């Protein structure tokens, strides 16, 4: 047996070994259940830490961090000016880019929602599994499958009628999609997915996924995304109503 020390087990759990050593550790773990259990626990710790703190990545950056103030007199003023300009430029750019970071769990939400929108919104014959004529059944069914009390917002004042809904596969289990349509046949969808991270609320976020605009937010253990092929302002008006109805 190659001499595996605890450091190797940590490095194995953290994915920091090269292939050769990794195989040796794996061979060792097969015969050492206590070590295997430790590795398992450490990996769970890593995952739990990420589940708990990853949502911070998606929070809006507080203003005070965006504008490191010129009132701090420690720096020469030219450096300050250059720094502040560069920083505000950078932050504007960053605000666009960091949300699409693949490691950010919540950032996947608008993308998945936009894809689901793009697949089902153009569907003529079967846009939904259960139609609005069975609304009560629809909501009960989707609530049951997600294990959480869902609501289908009423958007008639905004010109949108409920078409129905469907159940979709998601990364963390089933996802509910409600579809609405206005008099011109324009459709929007509300995508509701379960999150397995610590319940935590976020403000509205906007994401442009090619042609599809998405407003999304997290409310406790549910992530919501409202998608439509419309401009940001029009969609925001509807998203605001949806948000208020879900959080009266």
Partner 1 sequence: MDSAAIAEHIPRLRRYARALAGDSHRADDLVQDTLERALAKFHLWRHGSDLRAWMFSIMHNVFINQLKARREFALDEASEASLEAPPQSDPLQLRDLDAALRCLPAEQREVLLLVGLEQLSYAEASQALDVPIGTVMSRLSRGRERLRVLMSGTGLAEANSATNLKVVK
> Residue 177: beta bridge partners?
166, 191
Q: Is the CB of residue 183 less than 8 Å from the CB of residue 159?
A: yes
With contacts defined by CB under 8 A, name the span among 35-43, 146-154, 170-178, 218-226 that binds partner 1: 35-43
With contacts defined by CB under 8 A, name the span among 93-101, 120-128, 152-160, 233-241 that binds partner 1: 93-101
With contacts defined by CB under 8 A, name the span among 42-50, 155-163, 218-226, 228-236 that binds partner 1: 42-50
For residues 105 and 209, which CB has a smaller minimum distance to partner 1 in the complex? 105
For residues 32 and 219, which CB has a smaller minimum distance to partner 1 in the complex? 32
Q: How far is the CB of 65 from partner 1 (least distance, A)?
A: 6
For residues 76 and 248, which CB has a smaller minimum distance to partner 1 in the complex? 76
121 counts as binding partner 1 under rule CB under 8 A: no
For residue 104, give both structure tokens: 């950010």
Q: Which residue has the tokens 């569907």?
A: 123
Residues 14-33 that bind partner 1 (CB under 8 A): 14, 16, 28, 32
Report how far Cα 233 is from the mean position of its chain's Cα atoms: 21
Residue from 150, 158, 148, 222 nearest 188 by CA: 158
10 counts as binding partner 1 under rule CB under 8 A: yes
Q: How far is the CB of 58 from partner 1 (least distance, A)?
A: 8
Question: What are phi and psi for residue 120, nearest 5 degrees?
Answer: -100, -25
Residue 30 CB neighbours (<10 A): 10
Q: Is the CB of residue 146 less than 8 Å from the CB of residue 138?
A: no
Q: Is the CB of residue 213 less than 8 Å from the CB of residue 205?
A: no
9 counts as binding partner 1 under rule CB under 8 A: yes
For residue 168, give both structure tokens: 């979709």
CA distance 48 to 240: 32
CA distance 95 to 207: 11
Q: How far is the CB of 139 from partner 1 (least distance, A)?
A: 29
Residues 48-67 that bind partner 1 (CB under 8 A): 48-54, 56-59, 61-62, 64-65
Residues 177-236 that bind partner 1 (CB under 8 A): 197-198
89 counts as binding partner 1 under rule CB under 8 A: yes
CA distance 178 to 141: 12
> Residue numbers of the site for partner 1 (CB under 8 A)?
1, 3-7, 9-11, 14, 16, 28, 32, 35, 41-42, 45-46, 48-54, 56-59, 61-62, 64-65, 68, 72, 74-75, 79, 83, 86-87, 89-91, 93-94, 97-98, 101, 197-198
């Amino acid at each position: 047996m190659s001499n595996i020390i605890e450091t190797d087990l940590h490095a194995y759990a953290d994915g920091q070994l090269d292939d050769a050593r990794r195989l040796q550790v794996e061979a060792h773990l097969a015969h050492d259940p206590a070590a295997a259990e430790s590795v398992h626990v450490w990996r769970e710790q890593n995952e739990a830490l990420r589940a708990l703190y990853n949502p911070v990545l998606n929070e809006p950056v507080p203003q005070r961090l965006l504008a490191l103030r010129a009132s701090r007199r420690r720096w020469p003023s030219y450096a300050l000016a250059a720094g502040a300009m560069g920083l505000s430029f950078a932050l504007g750019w960053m605000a666009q880019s960091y949300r699409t970071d693949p490691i950010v769990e919540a950032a996947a939400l608008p993308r998945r929602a936009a894809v689901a929108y793009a697949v089902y919104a153009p569907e003529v014959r079967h846009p939904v599994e259960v139609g609005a004529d069975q609304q009560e059944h629809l909501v009960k069914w989707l609530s049951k499958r997600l294990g959480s009390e869902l609501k289908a917002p009423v958007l008639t004042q905004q010109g949108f009628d409920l078409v129905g809904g469907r159940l979709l596969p998601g990364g963390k289990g089933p996802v509910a999609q409600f579809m609405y349509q206005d008099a011109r046949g324009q459709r929007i969808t509300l995508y509701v997915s379960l999150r397995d991270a610590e319940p935590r609320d976020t403000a509205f976020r906007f994401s442009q996924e090619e042609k599809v605009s998405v407003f999304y937010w997290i409310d406790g253990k549910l992530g919501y995304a409202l998608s439509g092929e419309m401009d940001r302002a029009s969609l925001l008006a509807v998203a605001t109503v949806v948000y208020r109805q879900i959080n009266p």
